[in-house]
Amino acid sequence: MRIRSFSNEQGILYLVATPIGNMQDITLRAIEILKTVDKIYAEDTRNSINLLKHYNITTHLESYHEFNQETKTSDVIDEIKSGKNIALISDAGLPVISDPGYKIVKEARKEGLRVSTIPGPSAGISALIASGIAPMPYTFYGFLDSKQSKRIQELNDIKYINHTIIFYEAPHRLHDTLADMYSVLGNRDICIARELTKTFEEYIETNLGDAINLEPLKGEIVLILEGYKENTDTNINPMERIDELIKFGYKPNEAIKEAAKQLNMDRKELYKNYSNYKNSTRGNLNE
Ligand code: SAM
């Protein structure tokens, strides 16, 4: 199906980017659209009201969030079909990106309705370009699961992606997430981008091994993580890496297999070396 966004038929759904911190990061076009549409749907009306007040936008505002999207989607679709122009915004950045909106877009596309994007800031891509980590190719991951077992599974699934990966994370889960990344992915460069566009904006360029020792960080956080690379760093001590993995909960045999993969080494050879190392230090592998 081919749909021209600016044909003059029925209604339209605008996906409008809003600031990720600094109130001034909004386009002239976004303000114009928000002033002239028939209705704005917002993730949290209490948050959006401040932005709308700031720009003297008096358009009717209604909520559209994770918990009412099942029922609200069909209302929005009916409104567009009846000729209304609707804008969707989230609390920050682009709607749909780790925020509600995909359901409406999918449904609107299925119905042959017009959907148009009003671009602007998004935390992930803004962090990526300033991180100093290879910007392309990249994978946008968003939030990992909050449950550790699922998070570890997710990290295992993406372990060999050789793209830079963009994650969102809440400050209270940051340490656990970094520790899981380190245990599953091995050491990699990471840039922790915090409070973008706000007074305390900060970029911490580090690696996972050091990041797990950082003091607790506050605020909104994006993680830009280096992608998988075949290991060429001869400074990593394989015995120490195996011990670390065991400390993170791997069984000895699994730790050896994992370290062999991470360090691009022969597993049998590593097993032999690790056995010798253990025998010479404090016992054997089955301890
Ligand atoms: N839709 C938004 C976007 O386009 O970036 C993302 C919304 S998601 C619910 C919120 C997460 O985005 C935060 O937990 C944080 O990881 C990231 N984020 C949003 N604003 C940020 C900022 N100013 N600085 C750093 N990260 C931010």
User: Is the overall model pTM greater than 0.75, yes or no?
Assistant: yes
Confidence of residue 2 (pLDDT cuts 50, 70, 90): confident
% the chain with pLDDT above 90: 77
Q: What is the pLDDT of residue 241?
A: 87
Phi/psi of residue 68, each to 5°?
Answer: -120, 5
CA 170 to centroid of ligand 1, rounded, Å:
9
Average pLDDT over residues 136-140: 98
For the stretch 39-78, pLDDT in tens is: 999 999 999 999 999 999 999 999 999 899 989 999 999 9
Q: Whose CA is nearest to atom 2 of ligand 1?
A: 93
Give the distance (Å) from ligand 1 centre to CA of residue 245: 31
pLDDT for 286:
55
Pocket of ligand 1 from Cβ distances under 6 Å? 20-21, 90, 92-94, 97-99, 122-124, 168-170, 193, 195-198, 220-222
End-to-end alpha-carbon separation of the chain, Å? 64
pLDDT at position 233 over 80? no
Q: What is the average pLDDT across 229-237?
A: 72
Give the residue-averaged pLDDT of 93-122: 97
CB 34 within 8 A of CB 136: no
Ligand 1 centroid distance, CA of 149 (Å) = 24
| Separation of alpha carbons 267 and 10, rounded Å | 64
Residue 10 confidence class, pLDDT cut points 50, 70, 90? confident
Distance CA 204, CA 6 (A): 43
What whole-number percentage of the chain has pLDDT above 70?
96
Q: Is pLDDT at 284 greater than 60 in this prediction?
A: no
- Distance separating alpha carbons of residues 139 and 93, to the nearest angstrom: 18
Give the mean model confidence (pLDDT) for residues 95-116: 97
pLDDT at 194: 98
* Residue-level pLDDT at 285: 61
**Residue 26's closest CA among 35, 17, 34?**
17
Query: Given this model, what pLDDT does residue 245 score?
Result: 87
Q: What is the DSSP letter of 18?
A: B
Average pLDDT for 134-149 = 97
pLDDT digits (tens, 9 = 90+) for 72-87: 999 999 999 999 999 9
Q: Residue 160: CB partners within 8 Å, gap ≥ 6? A: 228
Q: How far is the CA of 123 from the centre of ligand 1 (A)?
A: 5
**How far is Cα 68 from Cα 46, in angstroms, rounded to an integer?**
16
Q: How many CA atoms lie within 13 A of 146 on its CB side?
A: 4
Instruction: List pLDDT tens digits, range 246-275.
Output: 888 889 999 999 888 878 888 888 998 898
pLDDT at position 232, please?
A: 56
Bridge-partner residues for 15, per DSSP?
Answer: 88, 117
Distance CA 204, CA 194 (A): 8
Instruction: Report which protein residue has its CA nearest ligand 1's atom 11.
Output: 168
